[in-house]
Chains A and B, each alone.
Chain A
Amino acid sequence: MLRTTALTKRFGGLTAVDSVDFTLDDRLTSLIGPNGAGKTTFFNLLTGALEPSEGSIELERSEEWVDVTDHTTFETAQFGVHRSYQITNIFPTSSVLENVRIAQQAHSDDSWQFWRNVNAFDEHYERAHEILERVGLDRKATEPAENLSHGEKRQLEVGIALAGDPDVLLLDEPNAGVSTEDVDDIRGIIEDVATDHAVLLVEHNMDLVMDVSDRIVVLNQGEIIADGKPETIRGDPEVQDAYLGGYEPGDLERTEGVA
């Protein structure tokens, strides 16, 4: 679906992403790592929001790999890579429906039509309603997006990213700041969208990550230090040292030597 080769990003002297070789496939993959590990930078590179210092990004298009390293954000989006944001990033005063509809419209040829009323384009509305149903927001369709609760805004984030039927979904902490009661809603949405999209998930809630992921990639100081099934990662001493320290209390003594 998507692969990077020796992908590197430097900010001055700091190497935020360090020569990452990574391939995303159909498995629900989670990207984890401590704060500052370079997860969001990696996302920004994948979506074209940042320009890589070195390396390349390729997308698989009908069995062929296409280089998208130089694509801007809107080109990447048009190419079928969508993302949701860690900090809610929606169209606040538009209705919930319009938030998704405008994203759906971006994937049609209709956006330059300035002489026809937008209501004449039923298919965008229909698709938007389908997506809202999927993320559980259809009953809020007419409300201004800013009036949603925090958890609902997180759902809308994913809904906007779903519009236009992307091949690859990059979800940047869809669960950020969501109360414990609402975690199950988000978990359901993640598992649901993973059935028909390649999903790369960044998430801090370890229970959630261990639960939904088929594969976990661990990033530390810009480098991939582990890559495997949740069970393997859970037992990996290097990972525990870098990130999961304390996740399983018994391992603390062992990691001291490695550091």
Chain B
Amino acid sequence: MSPESARSLPVPSWAGQYLRDHALHALVVAFFILYPFAYDLFVGQFGLIAETVLLRPRTMLTVLWLGLFAMSFDFISGYTGYLSFGHATFFGIGAYFVVLGYNGQLPLLPGELPFMTLLVLGGVVAAVAAVLVGLIAFRLSGVYFAMITLGVSEILFVAAENFDFLTPGGSDPSDGVTPGTPSGIETFTPELGVPLVDALQVEIGAFGDTSLLGIDLGPIFNETSAAIVVSYFAIGAFVLVSYLAMQRIIHSPFGRVMIAISENEERAQAIGYNTFWYKMGAFAISAFFGAVAGGLLVGYQGFIDPQNSFFFLVTGFALVAAIIGGLKTLVGPLFGYFFLEWVEEFLAREGSGGGLQPFLEQNLPDSLLDATISGGLTVSKALDSFMTGHGEFYAGIIFVLFVLFVPVGLLGTLRLRFGTQSLSKHVSHRLGALGSETEADDQ
């Protein structure tokens, strides 16, 4: 991950200033970089307790790509006020484009293109799709926009479940598609990194590279497979770059027009903005990054099915994450996902290791576990039925509580309390009286 090197190398003065202005960013990036190391350390030291409260690095991977998807959702829904309720459309387009493109099933495209190429092309295709959807949907206001986009994602969902074209091998398309399946196509080896620089590219996936920048991570990590850690860093770097790109757009003149549209579209028109095309632009950009998120998922997983791409609940979870993290905060939805996944893992992890239930079962005395609550229900059975597999149930409760009591979300609340500017100033101040007080860039 590149910021790592930027922090340890001797840097020119402007870079130092830049880092001070973005101290909050640097802190968050440092947290994500250190996370797998910390996980390994804590789990090695404290065993089950650490596993209970910490997200597995494999889950952190999901947080990354779904977080990116939720950020792209916030980009259009939060910053222009148009709820893109069918945003899964773009996630799915990105994911399926990588698979079909790699398998050579798309017209005009040779098969076996590099993963990065497919990722970016998929984003472009999604942006074009967004323009086509927008041509219809942006002629209508709020609710109808949400309904039209939802309708489009449902159409694509049904198509992805039923079109035999997707699976030339003859399997059921609703079971999903895999890159590299037809005979004659090479195995899918998704390389992520800086194009044309071999040293800065790694193969992601559960069976991908285990060394990063020439360092073999295998011996360093005991609790997590090194391939997961390498994928985590590579995908994390990509998500970071995507975030910074979106953040830059938000703080540009164009982004300010988006915000003006969300606050008062009538007035935005009255002062001379053709809001239709600004909305289109914002929608296309948002679709691009939504598709990239889908492509990253396929890159790691080497597989995609309609349920996890075009299905409306994919958007639903992005919405939940965005509300918990804070709509109109861009990075908030990533934290929202982090929080959601943490709740789900903590309260109900199926199988072995981690989560509250295995922890309680190991640590509570047997006499208590076997105690009867009523009828044939023992404490152990109650734990089993109330916890295992019910993470989403609890996430739902938390969602309702957030809507009621924290309507602007986690990050939104922080920013309201400290102010956008002063939050980052506060942090950079704390970080060290590094230099004279200077105008902090918008966080």
Identify the A interface with B (CB < 8 A).
Answer: 47, 49, 72-74, 77-78, 82-83, 85, 89-94, 98, 101-103, 105-107, 110-119, 121, 160, 163-164
Contacts and interface: CB of A to CB of B under 8 A. Distances in A.
Given A98-B256, A112-B254, A114-B255, A89 B266 contact: yes
Interface string B416-443: 0000000000000000000000000110
A74 B48 CA distance: 62
Interface residues of B, number: 28
Contacts of B269: 72-74, 77
A111 B257 contact: yes
Interface string B255-284: 111011001101111111111001001000
A17 B251 CA distance: 43
Given A114-B249, A114-B281, A163-B271, 12 more contacts: A73-B269, A78-B272, A85-B270, A89-B266, A92-B263, A94-B259, A105-B256, A111-B273, A112-B253, A113-B252, A114-B285, A119-B442
B259 to A, nearest CB: 7
9 contacts: A74-B270, A83-B270, A91-B260, A91-B264, A106-B273, A111-B257, A114-B248, A119-B251, A119-B442
Contacts of A112: 253-254, 281
A117 B256 contact: no
Contacts of B285: 114
Given A91-B263, A106-B271, A164-B271, A117 B254 contact: no
A170 B267 CA distance: 14
Contacts of A78: 272
Contacts of A106: 271-273
Contact of A111 (B248, B251, B254): B254
A102 B272 contact: no
A117 B257 contact: no
Contacts of B270: 47, 49, 73-74, 77, 82-83, 85, 89
A74 B264 contact: no
Contact of B271 (A82, A116, A119): A82
A74 B255 contact: no
B71 to A, nearest CB: 16
Q: B interface, by DSSP: helix, strand, loop or mixed?
A: helix
Contacts of B255: 114, 118
B271 A77 contact: yes
A94 to B, nearest CB: 6
Contacts of B278: 111
Given A74-B273, A74-B275, A111-B257, A118 B252 contact: yes
Given A89-B264, A90-B264, A93-B263, A118 B253 contact: yes
A73 B268 CA distance: 10
Contacts of A98: 256
Contacts of A73: 269-270
A82 B270 CA distance: 7
B263 A114 contact: no
A184 B281 CA distance: 44
B264 A160 contact: no
A107 B281 CA distance: 19
Given A91-B263, A92-B264, A102-B260, A113 B254 contact: yes
B254 A114 contact: yes
Closest CB pairs A-B (n = 4)? A77-B272, A106-B272, A114-B254, A103-B271
B267 A74 contact: no
A102 B256 contact: yes
Contacts of A91: 259-260, 263-264, 267-268
Contacts of B248: 114-115, 117
B275 A117 contact: no
A164 B272 contact: yes
A108 B268 CA distance: 14
Contacts of A121: 253
A105 B253 contact: yes
Contacts of B273: 74, 106, 111
Contacts of B264: 89-92
A128 to B, nearest CB: 12
Nearest to B249: A114
Nearest to B258: A114
Contacts of A119: 251, 441-442
Nearest to A80: B272
A179 B274 CA distance: 36
A113 B255 CA distance: 9
A58 B19 CA distance: 54
B385 to A, nearest CB: 46
Contacts of B442: 119
A163 B254 CA distance: 18
A118 B256 CA distance: 8
Contacts of A164: 271-272
A178 to B, nearest CB: 20
Contacts of A107: 272
Interface string B236-257: 0000000000001101111111
Contact of A113 (B253, B259, B260, B272): B253
Contacts of B274: 72, 74
Contacts of A102: 256-257, 260, 268, 271
A72 B268 CA distance: 13
Contacts of B268: 91, 102
A126 to B, nearest CB: 15
A86 B255 CA distance: 28
B272 A114 contact: no
A65 B259 CA distance: 36
Nearest to A117: B251
Given A118-B255, A119-B441, A94 B260 contact: yes
Nearest to A77: B272
A117 B18 CA distance: 14
B139 to A, nearest CB: 13
A116 B272 contact: no
Contacts of A82: 270-271
B61 to A, nearest CB: 29
Interface string B279-298: 00100010000000000000
Nearest to B266: A89
A160 B260 CA distance: 13
A251 to B, nearest CB: 39
A103 B260 CA distance: 10
Contacts of B260: 91, 94, 102
